[in-house]
Amino acid sequence: MNLTIKKSNTLESLIALCVRQDAKAQRLLYDRLSPKMMGVCRRYIGDTAEAESVLVTGFLKVFNKINQFSGTGNFEGWVRRIMVNESLLYLRKHKSMYLEVDIEEAHIEPNYGQANYLFEEQELLEMIENLPVGYRTVFNLYAIEGYSHKEIGEQMGINENTSKSQLSRARTILKNEVLKRESQNFERVEQNKATNEK
C-alpha cells in the first residue's frame, strides 16, 4: 500500500513558496485571491478588460514584493492595498478625474431612514459603479477601504475638503438612486397586488 502525503496548500505555505518564486504556488495563490481582487479593481475601474489588466499588473507587484510581507497582519489585506494602489495609479494615468472643489454640503449626512427596500449586493455595486469616476474613487476609498480624508487627499493629490465634498456628493447620488429604485419596487409590488386581486 502506497501512502502519499499531499503538500499543504495553506496560505502560509503558498506565500513561502512564492517568496522562492515557485511558479505553481504563484498560480495557486493567483487562483485563490484573484476573484476577490478583481472585485476590488472593478469598483474603481468600470471597464472589465481594463480592470483585468490592473489585476494582472497588481499580482506581478505582489509576486515581486512578496518577500516584503512581514508575515504579521492579514496577507489578503496587504494584497488588497496593492490592488487599490494599482487602480489609483491606473486612474491617474488614464482618466481625467474631474474633482470639484465645491464643499458647500460636505458636512451634511444624507438621511437613509426612508430607504426600506433591501438591495442585493450586485445592485449596490452597480450603483457605485455608475458614479462619476472621482466620486466613485473617493467613495470606495473612504466607505469601503477605510481610508481617512487625509489619506485620500495624499493618494489622489487633492485636499481633504475636496475629498469630503466628493464623498458627500457620491452619497447624495447613491441616496437618490436608492430612493428611486425603492419607489420603482413599491410600484411593482402594488401593480402585482392589483393584478392578483382581479
Identity at 22, one-letter amino acid code:
D
pLDDT digits (tens, 9 = 90+) for 89-140: 998 887 655 454 444 444 444 444 444 445 677 788 888 888 998 899 999 9
**Which CATH architecture group holds 121-197?**
Orthogonal Bundle (1.10)
Q: Is 130 helix (H, G, I), strand (E, B) or coil?
A: coil
Cα distances (Å, whole numbers) of residue 168 to 17, 57, 161: 45, 31, 10
Q: Which residues, given as ranges, of the chain have pLDDT below 70?
A: 1-9, 95-119, 198
Nearest residue to 32 (alpha-carbon basis) of 42, 22, 43, 24: 24
| Cα–Cα distance for residue pair 86/75, rounded to 1 Å | 17
CATH of 11-94 among 3.30.70.940, 1.10.1740.10, 1.10.3720.10, 1.10.645.10: 1.10.1740.10
pLDDT of residue 46: 82
Taking a C-beta distance cutoff of 8 angstroms, is the pair 165, 106 a contact?
yes
Cα distances (Å, whole numbers) of residue 105 to 44, 101, 112, 162, 164: 24, 11, 16, 11, 9
pLDDT of residue 151: 92
Q: Give the residue extent of every domain in the chain.
A: 11-94, 121-197
Taking the CA of residue 11 as centre, how many other CA atoms within 13 Å lie in the half-sphere pointing to its CB?
11
Does this model's pTM top 0.75? Answer: no
Domains 11-94 and 121-197 share a fold: no
